[in-house]
Structure 1
């Protein structure tokens, strides 16, 4: 298959630090190339890929100096990205978009099959827009993420994945500690992770990025508790830091306050052998095997109780769970199945169109 993959421009593919969407796009694209597909990746110019790279901007837009106008530049580069795709559209059998609604108007005009993986939640403010494109092809990254009230044409659920080969088997440190990894934002629950740590008396090591929109939250509700002893903040984590932070912890805390669409942190923790203590919201029930690879909770008090039950969890069970359900092979099998289904439907549709055109021609001739 000749496939176009469209990535966001905010991070490079794959990301050096935080960037879940770009990580998934990188894993998917490279594995498709290994399977013999002809793939073109439309992404930032500093991206690293086995596919043919169509660079849109010289580097990931998040690298821009804060004194520039990244929002303005993002609009410019995204327009350039869409123009490049449309110029080359006849080269492809299928387009796979990971950028959401910027492509929606064009997808109605493109004659080849187009599919969108939705990587986030759908805010209520955008519902009218989604209603207008509900006939397009959508892939959800968890069943919990689906918005059935919008009647979107979901063609499949394909779970995210990680490269299991680059996560080592790990054992917890002594003395023990808890880990938190993710954006330092209200919906990720770092303030609740601090509360859990204080109630258990265990140290908490935290890592993640602080976006500009979350700076006030961080300054007011996180920073005052960082003492460098019980509550430690390590900054934004690269892959090596992720492995050390979560692999050496007795548990990773995932006390989210929103309907998490997927949550890569959970599977990154479990592949290292570290169980996850999470709030039961969004996708967490689909990702964690409750009581086997972690615990699903409803309150901070539940999380504190779960910490006391960690000895019942097998670290090998955590690792096996990810290997059996969230490998790159599983994910790409799912996407390939979708591609084949859409191309088959297109073949049937084209055949019916040609048949109707032939009948019209016969009618004209007989007239």
Structure 2
């Protein structure tokens, strides 16, 4: 499968990124590439990825003075536009860049899924997501489903630093396979608003401190 990942441009994508999203994108795309997928990451030029990097800006916006940091959202929209114009076309695009790309996502001829990282506890944010409630979303915690249950959630896949899980290959594989399942649903048309909500099953993952955390990952029908 040809997959494009659109990063948030505030931070670089790398295993050393200051942002957990940047680290998660790095490890997710690394493992997807190992599974045989053709993966490209649209991100800042100072990113370091295990797959093909498409630099959309020289540096992550964190490197610039504060007044320029708001350009991260504009760069995400530019990155999505570049991904949509790429030939041959991608089979699927995965957005990690927040609210700004939702209008383009709605109009895309290519299946797109978006991971929601932020808490959905502000009425304004909830209002924006409900305006685009047919779009396919991946939650990063079960609380998001509780906050806004009427969105088109595909699965809950925890946002974790996969580097911490290198000693737990089964946990890493479970997260990557969960993404693959969502991608398959979306590319065969099961991500449409009228489709039945996916079956979600609870799994238990061991944390570094041996505490147990219950999470939900995608499961086939």
Per the normalisation by structure 2, the TM-score is: 0.76
SS of the residue aligned with 1:115?
Answer: strand
**Structure 1 unpaired stretches of 5+:** 168-322, 349-367
SS of structure 2 residue aligned to 1:120 = coil
1:68-147 equivalent positions in 2, closer than 5 A: 69-88=67-86, 91-122=89-120, 123-147=122-146
Of residues 161, 182, 185, the one that matches 1:341 is 185
Evaluate the alpha carbon distance shift between residue 79 and residue 98 of structure 1 in structure 2; reply closer, same or farther with a 3 A threshold. Answer: closer
Say which SS state the counterpart of residue 137 (structure 2) adopts: strand
The whole-number CA distance in structure 2 between the counterparts of 1:155 and 1:104 is 16
**Superposed displacement of residue 76, structure 1:** 4.5
From 164, 175, 181, the equivalent of 1:331 is 175
Note the C-alpha offset of 1:130: 1.1
Aligned residue-pair number:
190
Q: Deviations over 1:216-253 (max 9, x none)?
A: xxxxxxxxxxxxxxxxxxxxxxxxxxxxxxxxxxxxxx
Could you tell me how far 1:346 is from its partner in structure 2? 6.1
Work out which structure has the larger RCO, using CA pairs closer than 8 Å and 6 or more positions apart in sequence.
2
Question: What is the root-mean-square deviation in Å for CA atoms of aligned residues?
Answer: 2.5
Counting only pairs closer than 5 Å after superposition, residues 168-183 of structure 1 correspond to structure 2 as: none
Find the counterpart in structure 2 of residue 42 from structure 1: 42
More helix by share: 1
Cα separation, 2, equivalents of 1:156 and 1:10: 26
Please state how far the C-alpha of 1:166 moved relative to its aligned partner.
5.7
Residue 46 of structure 2 corresponds to residue 55 of structure 1? no
Larger radius of gyration: 1
In the aligned structure 2, how far is the partner of 1:142 from the partner of 1:345?
24
Contact 2:21 2:159 in 1 (8 A): no
Aligned to 1:56, the other structure's residue is in SS state strand
Alignment of 1:1-367 (within 5 A): 1-14=1-14, 16-64=16-64, 66=65, 69-88=67-86, 91-122=89-120, 123-147=122-146, 149=148, 151-161=150-160, 162-164=162-164, 323=168, 327-345=171-189
What CA distance in whole angstroms lies between the structure 2 residues aligned with 1:324 and 1:86? 33
Distance 1:102 1:40, change over 3 A: same
Please state which structure has a larger fraction of its residues in strand: 2
| Greater displacement, 41-50 / 13-22 | 13-22
**Residues 8 and 98, structure 2, Cα contact 8 Å, conserved in 1:** no
